[in-house]
Amino acid sequence: MKQLAFINNRRFFHRLGKSTTGCIAAAILLSGCQNDVAQPYNQQIPAWFPELEIPADNQLTQERIDLGKRLFYEPLLSLDSSVSCATCHQISKAFTDGLTISEGVDGVLGLRNAPTLANIGFSPTLFHDGGVDNLELQSQQPIFSDMEMKFSIAGFLDRIEEDESYVQMFMKAYERAPDAFGISRAIAAFERTIISGNSRFDQFYYEADENVLSESEIRGMALFFSTENKCADCHQPPLFTNFEFENVGLYSAYPDSGRARITHLSSDNGKFKVPTLRNIELTAPYMHDGSMSSLQEVVNHFNEGGVGHINQSSDVQPLSLSEQEKQDLVAFLASLTDELFISNSDLMY
Amino acid sequence: MMKYLSLILLGLIGFTSCNKDGCIDPTALNYDPNAENDDGTCVYLAENLNLSVYSKLGQADFAYNTDVVTDGGRTIKFTRAQMYMSGFTFNGTGGGYQLLNPHALIKPEVMEYNLGYLPQDMYTSFSFTAGVDSASNHMDPATFSAASALSSNNPDHMHWGWDPGYIFYVLEGLVDTSAAMNGLVDAPFIFHVGTDIHKVDLAFVSQIDASSDSVNVSINIDWLKLLDGTDMTAEVDSRSTHTMNNPPLATLMVANLDEAISLHQ
């Protein structure tokens, strides 16, 4: 009965109801061009998603997104031209890389597991520790990092100095020659188009298609949204995260202090940003350090209630789920996969 | 309502009819093209304020890839050393003056740094911050002009790419970590130190005559002294910090800044 009540209470929305356009900004930005007209970008966002906030100096235009996509897939941004953004953020894996810890130039290991970029534009903070609050700054970090691209923007600019196609794209997008401003803004613009909101869960829950989920998945959904299990307290729909920082009791002593590296507060030790669960089936391994290889392992961890770290979230408590319930929960998580998202040619290069 | 409108109108008339006071000399730093009455505040310039930085390893001149011994007895060699300085302020008879372009990226291989303009005056002291001022530290490095030491267009700029901001001080090299200190200098050491709490304000008493067209101030940096108190062993945490992952080692290095930077006599 509880399950039926839950389903009857769902809200119905029309898909793709929201759109944002960069018409005004585009008109202003390209008013000096004689022959080029900025292509306003009609951002398609599911109606059940929140508003996408976009900085005033980087409103979306087709030219900016095109440039950003080229840069996102550009290995010349790395020291030995071997690593691009897409190396660690592969569309087939929902913009993760399948590795425990991501590798940079020369195979040097980074610090953490690559997070998905699905719906990253909605995230008020970035990185597992929330150390950055805007995509424009974040997009520069991998270029500088010795553990990622190990290069410099100046070095990249030297490489593309003779590439007239790049110069034209920068001029059309930002009315300036290639530079750090244009690079960081363009990559951020492209990343704001990485939107995933068409999973079978979305079709079932928001579009009233009752035939897309199996019985097991529906049971799993009820378990997920149960106030006793508290999964949705942190993994709140529609983005399946509340963007807060939590310690989920992985370790009694965390080798990586997480959020405390930013705040220097001992109360933040072992806290990491609550990740989205959208496309979670595709983003193994799990946790900030990639220490869990399967969703079954993750569900087991939460069912057991964590190790009891002093900063552990009060929501992480033993759940007493049966084996069938754990299977149902994993089945529901798999219903959050968005097949159209990972085959979206607009996000490929 | 009419009364208020009248008052506003009178205020506007009064405002626009006033001759504005200010500096009316176009050659002055603070020339105001809208000013009509010279109020005596014109500030004139001394060109080419030059900072000379003498980089040292103890008493010796700085050299990369050269064996030197720390105060803890470890043999090391530097492969990279850089430091941001900011907020250069000079105190003279006319009060304090902060340079308009206050950021410099100091490297041992570069001795001379043009800091821009300083008003003509007789100065008795100057100060600066080792590190980056807090306001600039949290700005997007892509938004600085390409000529700025803080710009990400600058190939030497040092920024973490996240909220902690710029890496204020970078020391990298190799060290002999053996218990016997046998002279095999092969283990890397990395000090990447930043965050607002690790900038250090430094002040120096010095007579600086800025009445001529060219002004020079000179300081020493003993890069070796920055490692005083360290004991770099096989334990990585004893010789590697990116600040947030190993704050005690960052703090130890910062504590040496006051003595490592001195006035060049």
Name the minimum distance, in Å, from the CA of A266 to any CA of chain B: 12
Whether residue B142 and residue A134 make contact (CB cut-off 8 A), yes or no, is no
Name the minimum distance, in Å, from the CA of B250 to any CA of chain A: 13
How large is the average pLDDT for residues A223-245? 97
Going from N- to C-terminal start, the domains of chain A cover: 2-10+198-334, 18-196
pLDDT at A37: 58
Whether residue A157 and residue B151 make contact (CB cut-off 8 A), yes or no, is no
Q: Does B145 touch chain A (CB under 8 A)?
A: no
Output the six-digit token pair for A190: 């492209």
Rounded to whole angstroms, the Cα distance separating A328 from A322 reads 10
Rounded to whole angstroms, the Cα distance separating A171 from A262 reads 36
Q: Which amino acid is at A88?
A: C
A272 pairs with which residues across the strands? Answer: A246
pLDDT at A264: 86
Closest-CA residue to B191 (of B133, B233, B230, B150)? B230
Nearest Cβ partner for B140 among A137, A144, A264: A137
pLDDT at A143 over 80: yes
pLDDT at B18: 52
**Are A2-10+198-334 and A18-196 in the same CATH fold?**
yes
**ipTM for the whole complex:** 0.76
Whether residue A132 and residue B164 make contact (CB cut-off 8 A), yes or no, is no
Nearest Cβ partner for B160 among A141, A180, A183: A141
pLDDT tens per residue across span A297-316: 999 999 999 999 999 999 99
Rounded to whole angstroms, the Cα distance separating B77 from B58 reads 13
Cβ-based contacts of B245 with chain A (< 8 Å): 257, 261
Task: Let me know: does A76 contact A86? Beta carbons within 8 Å.
Answer: no
3-state secondary structure (DSSP) of residue A131: coil
pLDDT tens per residue across span A125-136: 999 999 999 999
Regarding predicted confidence, which is higher, B19 or B174? B174
Residue of A nearest to B194 (CA): A262
How large is the average pLDDT for residues B139-155? 91
Name the minimum distance, in Å, from the CA of B161 to any CA of chain A: 4
pLDDT at B181: 84
A7 band by pLDDT with thresholds 50, 70 and 90:
very low
Cβ-based contacts of A126 with chain B (< 8 Å): 162
pLDDT at A214 over 60: yes
Q: Does B147 touch chain A (CB under 8 A)?
A: no
Residue B251 half-sphere exposure, CB side, CA atoms within 13 Å?
6
Q: Among B136, B140, B243, which would you mutate to test the A interface (most chain A Cβ atoms within 10 Å of its Cβ)?
A: B140
pLDDT above 70: percentage of residues in chain B: 89
CATH of A2-10+198-334, one of 3.20.130.10, 2.30.250.10, 1.10.760.10, 1.20.1600.10: 1.10.760.10
Q: Which residues of A134-173 are buried (b: 16+ CB within 10 A; e: fewer)?
A: bbbbbbbbbbbbbbbbbbbbbbbbeebeeeeebeebbbbb
Name the minimum distance, in Å, from the CA of A177 to any CA of chain B: 12
Whether residue B140 and residue A144 make contact (CB cut-off 8 A), yes or no, is no
pLDDT at B212 over 80: no
pLDDT at A68: 98
Going from N- to C-terminal start, the domains of chain B cover: 2-38, 46-263
pLDDT tens per residue across span A162-189: 999 999 999 999 999 999 999 999 999 9
Residues in chain A whose Cβ is within 8 Å of chain B: 126-127, 131-134, 136-138, 140-145, 152-155, 157, 179-181, 183-185, 257, 261-262, 264
What CATH fold (topology level) applies to the domain A18-196?
Cytochrome Bc1 Complex; Chain D, domain 2 (1.10.760)
pLDDT at B7 over 50: no
Rounded to whole angstroms, the Cα distance separating A312 from A250 reads 9
The secondary structure of chain B as a DSSP string is: -HHHHHHHHHHHHHHHHSPPEE---TTSTT--TT--EE-S----EEEEEEEEEEEEETTEEP-TT--EE-TTS-EEEEEEEEEEEEEEEEEETTEEEE-SS--EEE-TT--EEEEEEEESSEEEEEEEEES--HHHHTS-GGGS-TTSTT-TTSTT--B-SSTT-BEEEEEEEEE---TT--S---EEEEEEEESGGG-EEEEEEEEEE-SSS-EEEEEEEETTGGGTT----SSGGGTEE-STT-HHHHHHHHTTHHHHEEE--
Residue B76: how many CB atoms within 10 A of its CB? Answer: 26
Name the minimum distance, in Å, from the CA of B256 to any CA of chain A: 22
pLDDT at A142 over 60: yes
The secondary structure of A294-308 as a DSSP string is: SHHHHHHHHHHT---
Token pair 């897309």 in the structure block, residue: A212
Name the minimum distance, in Å, from the CA of B229 to any CA of chain A: 23
A4 band by pLDDT with thresholds 50, 70 and 90:
very low
Whether residue A140 and residue B159 make contact (CB cut-off 8 A), yes or no, is yes
Residue B174: how many CB atoms within 10 A of its CB? Answer: 20
Whether residue A131 and residue B164 make contact (CB cut-off 8 A), yes or no, is yes
Q: Which residues of A59-89 are buried (b: 16+ CB within 10 A; e: fewer)?
A: bbbbbbbbbbbbbbbbebbbbeeebbbbbbb
pLDDT at B150: 94
Average pLDDT, chain A: 90
How large is the average pLDDT for residues B10-39? 70
Closest-CA residue to A67 (of A182, A222, A149)? A182
pLDDT at A36 over 70: no
pLDDT at B94: 76
